[in-house]
Structure 1
Amino acid sequence: MLVTKPPNVPTSVPTTATVTTSTAVVCGSAKLNSITGGGNSLASAGVWPWMASLQRNGIHVCGGTLVAEQFVLSSGDCFSSSTSASDWTVILGRLKQNGPNANEVSISVTKISISSDIVNNAAVLLLSRKPTLSDHIQPICVDLGDNSFTVNTQCWASGWGSGGGGTFQTLQQFNTTILDCGSASSSNRSICTGVMPLEQTNIGGPLMCKVGQSWVQPAVLTLVPKLSRASDVQVFIKISSVAEFLREMVGTFPPKANTTSTNTTTVKPVSSTLPANGFSENPLTVVLYARGCQWRQRLEPGSCQGASRARWSHGPSQTNPPLPVPSSLPPQTP
C-alpha cells in the first residue's frame, strides 16, 4: 500500500555539510628543486625557497632563512651596524638582486633577537606578517640536535655575492661535503665541510643537507677566520648549540615534509526544512509489508501495530521513483 506523508513541518537538522580542508605547514619542502650534481653555479627560481635577503636602506647586507611562518634565522654578525628592527626589511622569494623577481615579497621586521652565545651568535627576526607560502616561499627545517650529518654527506650553501652572481647578482649555490673536522676543531659543536668561496654578503645564509625528503639546516654561514681552517676543511658551529634560544624565540617549528601531517577539516552543518517526523521536503513513499493491518490514508503513530516490515524511500522522482507495491506479501515472521 502506498501512503503519502503529511505536509512538511519546519525542523532544523544538519542534512548537508560544507567541508573545508587546510594542509598543515611543513618544513624542508622544495618542489622545484631537482638538483643532483655537484659544483658551484647560479640557482634557478624556487630551488631554495627559504632563502631570505636581509636589506637595510634597500641594499642587500646578509642572507637568512625562513624557518617558521613568521621567523627568519640569520647571523648576529649581520647587525653590527644596527639592531633596530625598523631599519631592516626581509625579502622572500627573490632570485636576483638586480632585475625583476615575479615571486618575491617584501616584509618589514618587528623584532630582532640575538643569542648571547659568544661562539654562535644566531639572530632571529620576527616578521611583521606571515608570507603566503608557495613553491617559491617555504620554511627550511632547522637542526635542533635530532639529525645526523655523517662524513661524506652531500650538502649545499647559497647566497648572493658580487663576485659570481653576474650582472643580475643571481643567487649562487655551492656544493660541498661534510668532512671530519680533524685538527681543525675538536669541539662537538662544530660541523665541517669542504672550503667554499663565501663572501661577506653570504653571511647568515644556510648550510643545507637533505635528510630523507626534507632539507635541513645544520649551520648558519659565517666567514671562517684563516686560523679556523686546516687544509681543505671549513668549520661552522652547529645551530643546535643554540637550540634552547631558538625554541624560546620561535616556539614551535613546523614538522618535516616527509612526516605525515594531519589535515584540519572543518564541518559546518547546514540547516534544512524537514517535517517533524524526519522526512525530507520531497514526497516520501512508504512501502509497507503487513498482514491483518488496517491503514488510514495518513500514517499516524501507532496506527498499525501489526506491521512486520517497513521500508522508506525518497520519491517520487525521475531518479528515484516509488518502489512498487508487491502483489503478494511474504509470510509474516512469528
Structure 2
Amino acid sequence: MGRQKRTLGLGLSLLLSCAFLSSSHSAAVEDVRTGGTALCGVPSMGRIIGGMNAQRGQWPWQVNLNFDGHHVCGATLIAPQWLVTAAHCFPPVNPIDRYEVTLGAFQLKNPSDDLVEKLIQEVLKHPEYTDDEGSKGDIALVKLKEPVSYTRTIRPICLPASTVDFPRGMKCTVTGWGNILTSTSLPSPMTLQQLEVPIIGLDTCKCLYSKDPDPEDPHVLHNDMMCAGFAEGKKDACQGDSGGPLSCRIGDAWLLAGVVSWGDACGAANRPGVYIRTAAYADWIKEKVPEVALSNVVASMEPVSETGMCSNTSSTSDRGPYDDIQPLPGWNRPLNPSQPPPGSAAPSLSSASLSLIFLLFQSFYYLL
C-alpha cells in the first residue's frame, strides 16, 4: 500500500497504569437535568485487568458518532450537552440532521439498556480548519439537542488548561471502535477497544515524517498537533475512529490530551499517529462552553530522552527509547478507509476516512 495521507482512527492495545503525582484536580461537574454532580475524568470502576477489550464503563466519556445509522467517528463528552471531536468528521456534504450520537456505548452490536441516543443541534468547527486533510484546527465542538444525565457509564473527561504539558514518553490511551482487517469490521458484538501509546515530541515527530517524503503529498505538522506511537512500523493496526480521545492520566483523573486527527499509511515506519492538542484550544473551548472547568495540573514525570529515535543513519546502534517493546502476534493489516465493510451500506466519506495507525502493545495491569 503506497503512502497516502489519511485521517486517523484507532487501534487496539492494553493499558498501563500512569501513576503521575499532581495536586488533585478532579472537577465536580453539575448534571443540569438532575442537579447531581460527577467527577470529570474519573470512571466509576475499580481494579481492571488490562486487555485488548475495554471493560464496560471504563471509558465513560467515549462517544459514538453515527451517520445514516453507521458508526463513522469517535468523540468525547466534556459537558452534559457538549462533545469534542475532529472537524473532519463533519464534511460539508454530510447534513448535520443525519448524524446521531450514542453515549454509554460499549458493544455496538449488543446495546445495553442504559445506552443514550441524542441528535445534534449544531457543530462548531474551529475557524482555522480548512476541510483539507492534515489541516490545523482539526477540532470541533458538538452541541446536543438535549443534555445528557451522567450515569455510571456516561461521564465527562477533564479538559487541560492551555498551560498543561504532556511530557515525552508519557503513556496515554486512545479508545474507540473499528475494523480489525482490511474491510473487516470488529467481530460482533463490536466491543470498545483500547490502545496505549507513548507521547512523541513534536520535533522528533517532524523528523520522522521527513524521512522518505512524498513530494506530491507533503506532511506538515503544525504547532497545534502532537504525536503518539512508535517510530518502528509493523506493529500497528489500521482501525477505529477519527475524532476519538487520547486520554492521559495525571494524578487521580484522566484528561483529554488530544483528538485523533491524521496519519500516513498503515504500519509504515516513521509515521506515528497525529492528534490535535486539546490544550492548544482550551481557551476557545472555554469561550464556547463556559460551564466546562479547565484543569491546570503538572505531570511529575520527566520527559523521556528521544535521542536516536530519529536518525539520518540506518545503524542498528541508533536505538530509540521504545525499540524493545514488541507487539502481540498477528498485528492487523492495513484497511482501505475509502471502502465500507462488506455488507455495510455506509457511504464512503473521503474527507472523513476513518483509519488510524497504532501499536499493538503487550499485556499490563491497570489500576484506576
TM-score, normalising length: structure 2: 0.57
The structure whose RCO (Cα within 8 Å, separation 6+) is larger is 2
Q: Check the 8 A contact 2:62/2:75 in 1, yes or no.
A: yes
Point out the structure with max Rg over C-alpha: 1
C-alpha deviation, 1:182, in angstroms: 3.8
Paired with 1:198 and 1:122, the residues of 2 have a C-alpha distance of: 23
C-alpha spacing 1:201/1:59, structure 2 compared with 1 (3 Å)? same
The question of whether the paired residues in 2 share the 8 Å contact of 1:83 and 1:112 is answered with: no
Match of 1:172 among 160, 172, 193: 193
How far is the alpha carbon of 1:209 from its aligned partner? 0.3
Hey, what does 2:142 align to over in structure 1?
A: 125
Matched to 1:32, the amino acid is M
Pairing of 1:129-278 with structure 2 (within 5 A): 129-163=146-180, 165-185=186-206, 188-195=223-230, 197=236, 199=238, 201-226=240-265, 231=270, 233-254=272-293
For structure 2, list consecutive stretches of 5 or more residues without a partner in the other structure. Answer: 1-33, 130-135, 207-220, 298-368
Q: Tell me, what secondary structure is at the counterpart of 2:119?
A: strand
Give the aligned partner of residue 72 of structure 1.
83
- Give the Å deviation of 1:69: 1.2
Aligned counterpart in structure 1 of residue 112 of structure 2, from 101, 114, 130: 101
- Structure 1 counterpart SS, 2:283: helix
**Among 28, 41, 49, which residue is 1:28 paired with?**
41
**Hey, what's the Cα distance between the residues in 1 that align with 2:202 and 2:269?**
8
Deviates more, 1:182-191 or 1:149-158: 182-191
Q: 1:154 to 1:245 in 2, by over 3 A?
A: same
| Alignment-mate amino acid for residue 193 of structure 1 | A
| 2:179–2:239 contact (8 Å) kept in structure 1 | no
Amino acid at match of 1:49: P
| 1:83 CA drift (Å) | 5.1
Pairwise CA distance, 1:96: 1.2
**Residues 144-153 or 207-216, more deviating:** 144-153
Equivalent residue letter for 2:290:
G
What does residue 63 of structure 1 align with?
Answer: 74
Q: The residue matched to 2:261 in structure 1 has which SS?
A: coil
The unaligned stretches of length 5 or more in structure 1 are 1-20, 259-334
Identity over aligned pairs, percent: 26
SS of 1:244's partner is helix
Q: What is the distance in 2 between the residues matched to 1:84 and 1:121? A: 19
More deviation, 153-162/98-107? 98-107
In the TM superposition, residue 81 of structure 1 has moved relative to its aligned partner by 5.6
Q: Is the 8 A contact 1:84 1:112 kept in 2?
A: no
**CA distance in 2: counterparts of 1:202 and 1:87, whole angstroms:** 18
Contact conserved, 1:158 with 1:205, CA < 8 A, in 2?
yes
Shift of 1:145: 1.7
Mapped partners of 2:49, 2:272: distance in 1: 22
Q: 5 Å matches for 1:4-43?
A: 23-32=36-45, 34-35=47-48, 37=50, 41-43=52-54
- Give me the whole-angstrom Cα distance separating, in 2, the residues matched to 1:144 and 1:226: 32
Cα deviation for residue 230 of structure 1 reads 6.5
* Secondary structure in structure 2 of the residue aligned to 1:130: coil
- What's the counterpart of residue 292 of structure 1? none
- Name the aligned partner's letter for residue 174 of structure 1: L
Deviations 1:33-83 (A, max 9, x none): 64575xx61111100001111112211110001011110111111111645
Structure 2 CA distance for aligned equivalents of residues 77 and 244 of structure 1: 21
Q: Structure 1: how far apart are the matches of 2:45 and 2:198?
A: 22
Change (3 A) 1:112 1:190: closer
Q: Distance in 1 between matches of 2:92 and 2:112?
A: 27
CA contact (8 A) 1:191 1:236 kept: yes
Q: What SS does the aligned partner of 1:155 have?
A: strand
- More divergent stretch after superposition (146-155 vs 171-180): 146-155
Q: Distance in 2 between matches of 1:163 and 1:247?
A: 37
RMSD: 2.8
**Residues in 1 aligned to 2:88 and 2:68: alpha-carbon distance in whole angstroms:** 18
| TM-score (normalizing by structure 1) | 0.63
Structure 1 residue identity aligned to 2:95: S
Secondary structure of the 1:224 match is strand
Q: Residues 262 and 273 of structure 2 are in contact (CA less than 8 Å); yes or no, is this contact kept in structure 1?
A: no
